[in-house]
Amino acid sequence: MRADARERRERIINTACNLLRGRDIEGLTLEEVARAAGVGIATLYRNFPNRQALWHACIEHLMHEVNELQRVFLEDFASEPVDPLPLWHSFVRDLARLGLGALAQVMTPDNFQQLPPGMRELQAANDVQGRQVLTLVQEAGLVHSHITPHTLLKGLIILSRTAEPTSPGAIPELNRQLLRVYLAGLRQGPEELVLDPLPEQMDGEHLGVTFPTQES
């Protein structure tokens, strides 16, 4: 593939990933992706003949990003830093910035087996690395022993889905606060965490949501 064609393809993938970080996949059209990437719709279709092909490319892109972050973390941790806490916090922040919520939109348990074999192998490698990361930080006392890889991943997905659509990949102040709470909870553990009850007056109106009544 020519360098300019490769650059356009990568730009389309990066644009689609950025849009998915703040949008629902069902409402995102290929025409929108093409406009945001600065290419014609014909160029997009030459690279990705349908939506599934583009979403698979987004999955592969994010998988490679996760793989690289985990690889670097494991290498840095192996150097036995004096204080591994900043390294761990930086790693989690970088994962949150990737926007794994976008990945969750397009990779459900049902369609995971539909991925090409190479991508399934990449995901399996990520799972192995992820367990290695979790084991290291648990042994260092940075994460409670009861935290599972699934719990860690689900938390990151939820955090990344709070990113503002106007700033894809960025973590605004609210997200930074949530990230600090999340990291503290990982270290404290679910059984040790004390949750204060909500005040009685904290009803749906105060929360900005509507709760169904008993009659409904």
pLDDT in tens, 91-115: 998 988 887 776 676 666 566 677 7
Answer whether residue 26 is part of any domain: no
Answer whether residue 88 is part of any domain: yes
d(CA 15, CA 9): 10
Answer whether residue 209 is part of any domain: no
Answer whether residue 61 is part of any domain: yes
Question: What CATH number is attached to the domain comprising 89?
Answer: 1.10.357.10
Answer whether residue 93 is part of any domain: yes
Structural domain for 116, as ranges: 52-188
- As for how many domains the chain has, the answer is 1
Model confidence band, residue 210 (pLDDT cutoffs 50, 70, 90): very low
d(CA 86, CA 158): 22
Answer whether residue 101 is part of any domain: yes
Q: Give the pLDDT confidence of 3-53 residue by residue, as tens digits.
A: 888 999 999 999 998 888 777 778 889 999 999 999 999 999 999 999 989
d(CA 163, CA 17): 13
What secondary structure does DSSP assign to 3-72, as a single string? HHHHHHHHHHHHHHHHHHHHS-GGG--HHHHHHHHT--HHHHHHH-SSHHHHHHHHHHHHHHHHHHHHHH
pTM above 0.85, yes or no: no
Answer whether residue 97 is part of any domain: yes
Answer whether residue 63 is part of any domain: yes
